[in-house]
């Protein structure tokens, strides 16, 4: 390569670096508090609810409105103040044990396990995932051991953990392999029955 081509390539790389720097510098600053805005937290709760099989609905003046769409679709729309669909009444998002449970809010978002989901099955599955050593259920090497304490949870997990410590359970859930999640989903659907 000639020295002119090398000099030209260096100029292009420097120019691109400057352009990228200017673009990044012009982006609005995000404070660390942005991740705690209610609509962002609600979107995380909606993803958790979807992951573990919860039905999620709106409650307005104590009346439950069943939502036909996935909560991943409608929760961000209705809770983001910048959205044209924003609903200022949706100021809380709670999980309860069943559709028959007493709900502590009169306006907001409420989630409970779908009819076919057994919370005890989730607990059994998470205990199983934490109890195995560095192999998965097929005996294949697993790159890490799951420790409940790492996620701020203590053994034994309870239904209250699934409902109230959803962020910690979500973090645990996200660390499991697809095969482990499949096995745990089987427990969640079958309850305390043994896995075939």
pLDDT digits (tens, 9 = 90+) for 134-161: 555 566 665 556 788 888 998 888 888 9
Phi-psi bin for 53: left (phi > 0), alpha (psi -120 to 50), beta? left
Q: 173 pLDDT band (50/70/90 cuts)? A: confident
d(CA 10, CA 82): 43
Task: Quote the pTM value.
Answer: 0.69
Q: 46 pLDDT band (50/70/90 cuts)? A: confident
Of 123, 122, 102, 98, nearest in space to 112 by CA: 98
Q: What DSSP character marks residue 135?
A: B
Of 170, 52, 55, 59, nearest in space to 120 by CA: 52
Q: 31 pLDDT band (50/70/90 cuts)? A: very low
60, 89 contact by CB (below 8 A): yes
44, burial (CB in 10 Å: exposed 0-12, middle 13-18, buried 19+): middle
d(CA 28, CA 38): 20
d(CA 2, CA 6): 6
pLDDT digits (tens, 9 = 90+) for 70-126: 777 778 878 888 888 888 888 888 888 888 888 888 888 888 888 777 788 888 888
Triad 139, 191, 51: Cα angle to 5°: 75
φ, ψ of residue 86 in degrees (nearest 5): -50, 135
92, 108 contact by CB (below 8 A): yes
Sequence spans of domains, the chain:
32-113, 119-190
For residue 181, give every residue at least 6 positions away whose Cβ sits within 8 Å of its Cβ, in sequence order, or none: 173
| DSSP strands (E only) in the chain | 54-60, 63-65, 93-95, 108-113
């Amino acid at each position: 390569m000639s020295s002119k081509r090398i000099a030209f390539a260096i100029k292009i790389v420097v120019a691109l670096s400057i352009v990228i720097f200017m673009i990044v510098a012009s982006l609005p600053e995000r404070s660390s508090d942005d991740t705690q805005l209610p609509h962002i937290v609600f979107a995380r709760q909606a993803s958790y609810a979807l992951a573990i099989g919860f039905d999620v609905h709106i409650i307005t003046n104590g009346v439950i409105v069943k939502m036909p769409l996935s909560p991943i679709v409608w929760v961000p729309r209705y809770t983001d103040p910048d959205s044209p669909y924003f609903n200022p009444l949706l100021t809380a998002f709670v999980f309860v044990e069943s559709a028959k449970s007493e709900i502590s809010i009169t306006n907001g978002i409420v989630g409970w396990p779908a009819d076919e989901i057994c919370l005890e099955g989730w607990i059994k599955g998470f205990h199983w995932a934490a109890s195995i050593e560095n192999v998965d259920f097929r005996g294949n090497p697993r790159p890490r051991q799951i420790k409940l304490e790492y996620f701020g949870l203590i053994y034994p997990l309870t239904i209250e953990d699934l409902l109230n410590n959803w962020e910690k359970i979500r973090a645990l859930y996200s660390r499991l392999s697809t095969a482990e999640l499949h096995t745990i989903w089987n427990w969640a659907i079958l309850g305390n029955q043994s896995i075939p």
